[in-house]
Amino acid sequence: DVKVTQSSRYLVKRTGEKVFLECVQDMDHENMFWYRQDPGLGLRLIYFSYDVKMKEKGDIPEGYSVSREKKERFSLILESASTNQTSMYLCASSLYRASSYNEQFFGPGTRLTVL
Amino acid sequence: AQKVTQAQTEISVVEKEDVTLDCVYETRDTTYYLFWYKQPPSGELVFLIRRNSFDEQNEISGRYSWNFQKSTSSFNFTITASQVVDSAVYFCALSALGTSYDKVIFGPGTSLSVIP
């Protein structure tokens, strides 16, 4: 079974702090994604990566950056956390690049609160 | 533009009732895929089904069934004889070959509560 793990289930940070959210997948998937989930808005794509050191902006990249130094690990970085970044953050992976056929495999999510 | 609409924000049913979750999509692409995912209280989205735009056959898997109708751009999900374990948020999603990357458009989700 594919397993996607996220470093924290719950995180509380203060405004202005730098925040790192880590995601690891164990099935050699090419694609990795970061979403945020907010009530009534569904899942919105922040960034995705289809290869090591490659990244593409999603729908809402402002205020975020990402890093993919190894194939299995994809990090989301909030350079200076703000209260409007309080949300549930979901990491996902899928097998092949540029294939709309792929289902995505999700981690359990990190609920981030910025005070 | 691509869009997925799930008009039902929240649904409550009593255990053993049947329930249908609606999904309406918009795309100009002729080749696309539709998905349903389940997000239980634990938070992890789980893939349920994938359907491609050329296959309009309905599908049944145990108590779950899916009705895909291109004429109405709908991909509805029915749970028969609902159980408490079906309580979750359900997302309908769309991806199309016309996009330049593996972008999936998710609907806003429908929160289903099954009451014992």
pLDDT above 70: residue B109: yes
Longest CA pairwise span in chain A (Å) = 40
Residue identified by tokens 């694609």 is: A31
Half-sphere exposure of B53 (CA within 13 A, CB side): 19
Task: Identify the band that residue B65 occupies on the pLDDT scale cut at 50, 70 and 90.
Answer: very high
The 3-state DSSP class for residue A62 equals: coil
For residue B63, the model assigns a pLDDT of 94
Bridge-based pairing of strands A56-57 and A64-70 is unpaired
Whether B46 has its CB under 8 Å from any CB of chain A: the answer is yes
Residue B4 and residue B77 in contact, taking contact as beta carbons nearer than 8 Å: no
| Residue pLDDT, tens place only, A35-45 | 999 988 889 99
Cα–Cα distance, B88 to B91 (Å, whole number): 10
Tell me whether residues A109 and B43 touch, CB distance under 8 A: yes
- Chain A CA closest to residue B38: A106
Q: Does A100 touch chain B (CB under 8 A)?
A: yes
Q: What is the pLDDT of residue B92?
A: 96
Judge whether residue B97 has pLDDT over 90.
no
Q: Is the dihedral of CA A92, A95, A96, A98 positive or negative?
A: negative
Query: A interface mutation test: which of B2, B21, B45 has the most A CBs within 10 A?
Result: B45
Contact B33, B54 (CB under 8 A): no
Q: For A107, left (φ over 0), alpha (ψ -120 to 50), or beta?
A: beta
Is B106 touching A (CB cutoff 8 A)? yes
Report the number of secondary-structure helices (H) and strands (E) in chain A. 0, 11
pLDDT given at position B81: 97
- Chain B, nearest residue to A97 by Cα: B102
Is A45 close to B103, i.e. CB distance below 8 A? yes
Are B44 and A107 in contact (CB < 8 Å)?
A: yes
**Which residue would you say has higher pLDDT here, B49 or A98?**
B49
Task: Tell me what pLDDT residue A84 has.
Answer: 96
Distance from the B15 Cα atom to the nearest Cα atom in chain A, whole angstroms: 25
Task: Quick: pLDDT tens for B1-33.
Answer: 789 999 999 999 999 999 999 999 999 888 889
Confidence of residue B108 (pLDDT cuts 50, 70, 90): very high
Nearest to B73 by CA among B22, B37, B9, B112: B22
Query: So what's the pLDDT on residue A100?
Result: 65
Question: Would you call B45 and A92 a contact, using CB atoms and an 8 Å cutoff?
Answer: yes
* A105·B47 Cβ contact <8 A: yes
Nearest chain B residue (CA) to A95:
B102
What CA–CA distance (Å, rounded) separates B114 from A25? 32
State which residues of chain A have pLDDT below 50: none
* Nearest residue on chain B to A93, alpha-carbon basis: B102
Q: Is the pLDDT of residue B100 over 70?
A: no
Can you tell me whether residue B18 is helix, strand or coil? coil
Give me the pLDDT at residue A17, please.
97
Mean of all residue pLDDT scores within chain B: 91
Give per-residue burial for B52-63: e unless 16+ CB within 10 Å, then b: ebeeeeeeeeee
Instruction: Give A92's contacts in chain B (Cβ within 8 Å).
Output: 45
Does residue B108 belong to the interface with chain A, where contact is any CB pair within 8 Å? Answer: yes
- Count other C-beta atoms under 10 Å from residue A51's C-beta: 12
